[in-house]
Structure 1
Amino acid sequence: MNLPLIPPMLATPGTLPSAAQDARWAYETKQDGQRVVVYLTGDGGFVLRARSGEEVTAAYPELRPLGGALGSTPAVLDGEVMALDERGRADFQLLQSRMGLAHAPARAARRAAQAPVHLVLFDVMHLAGRPLVRLPYAERRERLEGLGLDGPHWSTPAALVGHGEEALRATREHGLEGLVCKRLDSVYEPGVRSRAWIKIRNMHSEDVVVGGWLPGKGRLTGLPGALLVGQRAGGRLRYVGGVGTGWSRRERDELAGLLAAAATDVCPFDPVPAAPGARWVVPQLVGEVRFSTRTRAGMLRQPSWLRLRPDLTPEESSADLPDPPP
């Protein structure tokens, strides 16, 4: 392949640009999938590489026809592979059943028939033998949209210039992961986490009950490394995940004392989660956590601790959770 290997440019977590700067930025929906760089060789060849640089082409056979979409024009494109649920929303848990199949093409083909993916394209870094990384984002987007890359398993959604507050509000109203803000004059910085791209993740917060903890290691020896938390559903305390971030050292010390006082040999979760080395506690501590979304099984994704809620009882941490697998 005579195309340059280009690691993807990365966004920095942040907030919306100011109103005075709004017109200088474009806004794209933040996708919940696997970031990929797409190589179209111009002779029908098609290669996908993950953010790590690993080739993952074989994991997504339904995307191979994209190799001929530009005819003899070679290109390097940036995008995200997603698996969509029945409502047409990205479902990362569904995608996980596809991500590990790069070296199992037969299984990948079977999974493609059951859970096909969709590739969203949002940048072009090399086209027709010419590098485009030094061009401003606005010009690269114009080149990308001019390619007309919309097919059965791929698309090029439009970016919105200006109106950042409206764009962010729309992602929240539609339950989407968030927004990526891209400065119109920004060049493409391969492999760099740049302030010219800002990602804003829509987060949710809910109350949970602490039912156990995992001991920390290294400088956290003797302290909780993660809390095991649950929510009430169907008269039981259902495990919804482990929370390992969000505390100061003082808060972690305080929690250690509270957990020691509530120690028990009985797991309060029903069913009992697979958590080797867990220490169980009487489920009396209520806390508030922040998270990005839930899996289909009701587990919290990317949870972080916000605060203890001594004003709440464990019975108030109820949630509408799906039935556990038999």
Structure 2
Amino acid sequence: MAPSGALPILRPMLATPGPLPGAGEEDAWAFEAKWDGARCIVNAPGDGTLGLVTRAGNDATATYPELASLGERLRGRPAVLDGEVVVLDSEGRPDFGLLQRRMGVTNRRRAAGLAGECPVHLVLFDVLHLDGRPLLEHPYEERRALLSGLGLGDGPHWSVPAHVRGHAAQTWEATLRGGFEGVVAKRLTSRYVPGVRSSEWRKTKHLVTLDVVVGGWTEGRGGLAGLPGAVLAGLDGPAGLRYVGSVGSGLSGRERRELARYLEVVRRDTSPFANPVDVPGAHWAEPRLVAEVTFSGWTSADRLRQPTWHRLRPDLTRLD
């Protein structure tokens, strides 16, 4: 229990991975874009100051100095808000690769310099405590209305994006076109349970399927010694085969053993990729094997984001 007049120390409520609610139940849910960023609890005591706490419980106030003016905007309205810190690319889409430049920086001078070079944006989507009143037991729909009523609008480095009641399919298509990571569905009657991964909130990611060429591999560790821990993936381009990332997640033990046999047959001494491969201990292979992978988007360095192995495509094996 927080002392009188003090803000409570809260952890963010988390969503459970799962499918979007179907047509028969979607009217009981609200849908928001899933932002590819860093979750933060925002503490605004109402005196013009602001504190930011990460999902891991670390103080990130000095890391994102450009958000300090939000505290002034909330002067006289002590509040605890829930949101996500993101960095937007030139097309307004969240880019986690750009955000990584900002994360964990505690030196104030360095953080201020990065704020000018690569500013963050705070997406606000919940209010947990307002004007000395706890809101955790209030339903999502009511909390959202209170958040909208704060009049924060689109600040210089923050916003309160819209949510959609019902219309799951339309939200899915809109976020896919907009380059967002996915959709978060929140039951309209859901209470806020700090630190808990609740089925009352569901997250569904957009995944893209792609055929890639295997141009090498890296050895696994421990029980995977001698076997591919990850394969090095490429795509054909005007300059030749372009390295786009390593894929290890999703490979079964059987597939690793099978790949080891295939890769031994097509091994080579030099890289088949036209661009540099920033992977230590790489083993090279003739670009013959084709694999199907899923991924959630592209990083700013043109690498696959969160790639997962799906299957080998022997029907697409390259013979030339």
TM over 0.5: yes
Q: Is the 8 A contact 1:232 1:315 kept in 2?
A: no
Give the structure 2 partner of residue 129 of structure 1.
132
Q: Is the 8 A contact 2:93 2:178 kept in 1?
A: no
What is the Cα deviation at residue 12 of structure 1? 1.4
SS of corresponding position for 1:239: strand
Structure 1 residue 295 corresponds to structure 2 residue 261 = no
Q: Is the 8 A contact 2:288 2:319 kept in 1?
A: no
Aligned to 1:113, which of 116, 134, 137? Answer: 116
Residues 267/125 of structure 1: CA separation in 2 closer, same or farther (3 Å cut): same
SS of corresponding position for 2:316: coil
CA distance in 2, matches of 1:290, 1:246: 10
What is the Cα deviation at residue 312 of structure 1? 2.1
CA distance in 1, matches of 2:55, 2:34: 16
Query: What does 1:1-326 correspond to in 2, within 5 Å?
Result: 2-101=6-105, 103-150=106-153, 151-314=155-318
CA distance in 1, matches of 2:318, 2:193: 48
CA distance in 1, matches of 2:228, 2:93: 35
CA distance in 2, matches of 1:293, 1:212: 22
Q: Is the 8 A contact 1:61 1:108 kept in 2?
A: yes
CA distance in 2, matches of 1:314, 1:289: 17
SS of corresponding position for 1:245: coil
Instruction: Point out the more displaced range, 75-84 or 227-236.
Output: 227-236
Q: Is the 8 A contact 1:35 1:51 kept in 2?
A: yes
Q: Is the 8 A contact 2:239 2:274 kept in 1?
A: no
User: Which stretches of structure 1, 4 residues or longer, exceed 6 Å deviation after superposition?
Assistant: none
Amino acid at match of 2:242: R
SS of corresponding position for 1:106: helix
Aligned length: 315
Q: Is the 8 A contact 2:87 2:95 kept in 1?
A: yes
Structure 2 gap segments, 5+ residues each = none
1:21-65 C-alpha deviation (Å, 9 max, x unpaired) = 111000001111111110101111201111111111112111101
Amino acid at match of 1:109: A
CA distance in 1, matches of 2:242, 2:23: 44
What is the Cα deviation at residue 241 of structure 1? 0.6
CA distance in 1, matches of 2:131, 2:73: 13
Sequence identity percentage: 55
Q: Is the 8 A contact 1:26 1:159 kept in 2?
A: yes
SS of corresponding position for 1:23: helix
CA distance in 2, matches of 1:315, 1:115: 45
SS of corresponding position for 2:264: helix
SS of corresponding position for 1:58: coil
1:85-129 C-alpha deviation (Å, 9 max, x unpaired) = 22222122222222232x121122122222222111001111122
CA distance in 1, matches of 2:90, 2:285: 39
Q: Is the 8 A contact 2:11 2:41 kept in 1?
A: yes
What is the Cα deviation at residue 284 of structure 1? 0.9
CA distance in 2, matches of 1:304, 1:281: 20
CA distance in 2, matches of 1:123, 1:106: 31
Please report the RMSD computed on the Cα atoms of aligned residues, expressed in angstroms.
Answer: 1.8
What is the Cα deviation at residue 81 of structure 1? 1.1
What is the Cα deviation at residue 260 of structure 1? 2.1
